[in-house]
Amino acid sequence: MDDKVYSQYKLAEMFNINPATAAKGLTKLAEDGILYDKRGLGKFVADDAKEKVIDKRKNQTLKRMLEEIVQEADRLNMDEEELMAMMKVVMNGEGER
């Protein structure tokens, strides 16, 4: 990718937030390997940034959501077979919309 990222000050102006908040966000993205620094030039998007974001969403967000679904299924006394059958219906687009 190698796209240049806006500075913390530009991001703060664009999103009407404190520059320190923008800096924290940029730092977190750099720690996660999504952005990298080019000394004296600023931050840039890593080549594999998209894959890293997708992996993080799978392993954190989606996992948390699935844990909540499993807990709710347990409260409703659904067994694994019934839950998996419902999951397949939804994945195949056969569920209610």
Spell out the residues 6+ positions from residue 38 whose beta carbon is closer than 8 angstroms to its own: 44
Q: Residue 10 above 90 pLDDT? A: yes
Mean pLDDT, residues 81-92: 94
Q: Which of 70, 22, 28 is nearest to 53 (CA)?
A: 28
Give the pTM.
0.66
